[in-house]
Structure 1
Amino acid sequence: MAKPGPDQAFRQTGWPGLRARLFHLYFVLRRPMTLGARGLIHHRASNSVFLIRHTYVPGWQLPGGGVEVGETLTEALERELVEEGNIELTAPPLLKSMHFNRQASSRDHVAFYLIENFSQAAPKQPDHEIAEAGFFPLDRLPLGTTPATLRRVAEVFQGEPPSPYW
């Protein structure tokens, strides 16, 4: 029997998995091609990155979410950063890469941005969507950081070539 890959630990099962699939189905029906934007927020002074942990999916990950009808990628990113981290951009984000998110569906893509110019009004407090959020030193990312997040960190800070897959 083959050993499960690192992404398998973050596959949703049971009610959370069904809920996530139903949520995604809603968006597939509403907009057949799905598009998202995520940002790697780098605090240069502390050499740390901002990560979130959702209430409905496992693992620590980069903030971001889906692009709504009529929104640009950066507008969606700006909205998600405020919602998920109380973070506002103070300069345009840098588009680093685009990724096919085959874990979500056969029609989902994610724009990945690097953000080093931002302000945070106050630390993000837990709510119905975000269980935890905070800045973590690059050399001490939290246990349970998702493989996709680790890949993006390696691409930005360790010179790994960008993967076409999220």
Structure 2
Amino acid sequence: MRIRARFKARIKRDDVEGSVTVLEDLRQRFEPQIRKVFHLYWRLVRSMTLGARAVVLDADNKVFLVKHSYVPGWYLPGGGVEVGETFLDALRRELVEEGRIEMTGEPILHGIFHNSHVSSRDHVAVYVVRNFRQDRLPEPNREIVATGFFDPAALPADTTPGTRLRIAEVLDGKPLIATWR
């Protein structure tokens, strides 16, 4: 009874923050189960999953990060490579979808990393993007709830470890680590 009353109280909030809190609670509660279902599906239909992400740097070397609605933390923009798509096609598509970023030059391949945190079959290609156009920051939506350019020395506290590693490799010359972490 207490749980139901507490949940109803949150739903009755009419401010945006209250809605986000309810969605965040639901996401945290069901994320492990949903992730298992997706991984089972991927295992059945795909032998390996591929992703493309980018370290997008502006003229001041600030890095563009995104915050998803379905996982906690700040990430490099990017996503899965679809059947029939190249890494660069996927990167272009994801940068437009997540950040309204249009590449105006060729990105540089930073590395390909094994992402065992997601699945033993997942691999992510990371590119460095310095030449791009962005007319404005995107509006929050169902997938991306926040975006921004951040000083690498002052990243948000909940920036993921893998994201921090890739940024340090690109900007600080740290040695590449083959796993995403």
Question: What is the TM-score normalised by the length of structure 1?
Answer: 0.88
1:115 to 129, 144, 152: 129
Amino acid at match of 2:164: L
1:25 aligned onto 2:36: no
2:49 corresponding residue in structure 1? 34
Deviation sequence 1:46-85 (CA, Å, 0-9, x none)? 2200000000001001000110000000000100001100
Equivalent-residue separation in structure 1 for 2:131 and 2:84 (angstroms): 25
Q: Distance in 1 between matches of 2:133 and 2:72?
A: 27
Aligned-pair identity in percent equals 51
Higher relative contact order (CA 8 A, sep 6+): 1
1:81-126 deviations in Å (ceiling 9; x for gaps): 0110000100111001010000111111000100000011221111
CA RMSD of aligned residues (A): 1.4
- Please identify which structure carries the higher helix content: 2
Cα distance in structure 1, aligned partners of 2:34 and 2:158: 21
- Written as runs of structure 1 = structure 2, the 5 A alignment for 1:78-89 is 78-89=92-103
User: Partner residue of 1:9?
Assistant: none
Equivalent residue pairs, number: 154
3-state SS of 1:29 partner: helix
Q: Shift of residue 39 of structure 1?
A: 0.3
Q: Which has the higher strand share?
A: 1
Give the whole-Å Cα distance in 1 for the aligned partners of 2:128 and 2:29: 34
- Asked whether the 8 Å contact 1:78–1:88 carries over to 2, the reply is yes
Query: Could you say which structure has the larger radius of gyration?
Result: 2
Q: CA deviation at 1:158?
A: 1.0
Q: Confirm or deny that 1:143 pairs with 2:154.
A: no
**How much has 1:13 moved relative to structure 2?**
6.4
Q: Structure 1: where are the runs of 5+ without partners? A: 1-11
- Where 2:57 maps in the other structure, the secondary structure is strand
After superposition, give the CA deviation of every residue in 1:1-34 in whole Å (9 maximum; x if it has no partner). Answer: xxxxxxxxxxx96411221232233233222210
Alignment gaps of 5+ in structure 2: 1-26
Instruction: Tell me, yes or no, if the aligned pair for 1:124 and 1:134 is still in contact at 8 Å.
Output: no
